[in-house]
Structure 1
Amino acid sequence: MAPTLRFPLWNLGTDIISQVGNCDNGYACVYQNSLSWSSPTTALPTEADPRVLFERLFGDGGTPEQRNAQLTANASLLDAVMEDMNKYQKELGSTDKLKVDEYLDTVREVERRIQMSQAQSEKAKLPDLERPTTVPEDWEEHVKLMMDLQVLALQADLTRVVTFQLAREASTRTYPQIGVVEPHHPISHHGNDPIQLEKLAKINKYHVSLFFIYVGKNVIYN
């Protein structure tokens, strides 16, 4: 029998997903925005906020007020459990201690990046009203944070199944960082136009390069 995992399934994305209303194709938006379903008619919620995921992995609960106070103080969630962790490490051998130290260093680095992204989002002149302030302004950094959190969860055997949607169906995301300023979805309707095909190839190559980083970390750590 398979072990009971803390998170049987992680359903993740980078967009704030609409689960209601009808979309351009005439179907309910939930059918084109969701990868995971508990039944033919019930979609599982998608989480796009790296801070929320981090707290689920490493937070020790507390009231919403306590959690907000911790965020305001820019404090590390790990600080609250370090006393227990130090006691635990005394019982470990040198090799296991090294593995735990490396894992905690990675956790702190991810948390630091989340805190930096939060600060940058809060200072943005034109904030995205649909997006929580803990979601990075930079899409690539957002993707990398979400991937790093998946690696940490898999490494700790907190989950064994993850779905991750880089962008919802019919996405209008642009990629100026690779020289593609037109929305992704219209480009996919290229009509065999060589210019549009070249742009689509750039986007596909960019996505695969991010996935390559993710796979590499999983091979090393898991």
Structure 2
Amino acid sequence: MALTDEAIDKIKAMIVDGELAPGSRLPKEEILAGQLGLSRNSLREAVRALAAMRILITRQGDGTYVSSLEPHLLLESLSFAADVSQGHTALQLLQVRRLLEPQATGLAAALLTPEDLRELRNILKRSRTVATVEEFVAHDIAFHLRIVEAVGNPVLSMLLQVLSTRTQRVRIVRGSQTSHALNNAHEDHEQILSALQSRDALLAAAAATVHITAVEQWLAASLTDDAMQVIDD
């Protein structure tokens, strides 16, 4: 095991064991390094890595603290992986989204307020007047996020954002026949909203499943086409 990995594991163990509580300040570098039997260089590398994971927070001139460790905060570090995902990795993320988001959409059917439903309608109206794919994706994200937020679980909201980021969605829409993809998305959104307005949880979940599955199937087909092209070449 690399020394930095060992240092990371030791700091994590202190947090898991309750020696370092959320929001608490780490001991001074020389003290903590001695306590853990680490070099100060290994400790610094570990702190940098844990800060990137949002487990630790470094405050200039004040020291290093354990973060709040809220799950939705820790999930933010996964967004970059989703942003750069392509090919089969992007497909796998979509598959996980399909397992989670329809259930959340079904739950939201009973929880969305009349104001929420009006805002969802306004989002769809605005999405039909956009000039670019990027603008459409911004409204698409807002539409789905508003639905999921009604469930009241910030971890679920963040996880679904991570599974389908803005960058990933733009790349997928641009890779398809754009006008056809947008028309299908508009129709799918209308079906989802109609089910939500009717407070029909099963229909809302089914509409969301159809919507996400269509994107998943397109991406799977494009990967198959790319593979066949390689074979032909």
TM superposition score normalised by structure 1: 0.26
| Structure of greater relative contact order (alpha carbons < 8 Å, 6+ residues apart) | 1
More helix by share: 2
TM superposition score normalised by structure 2: 0.25
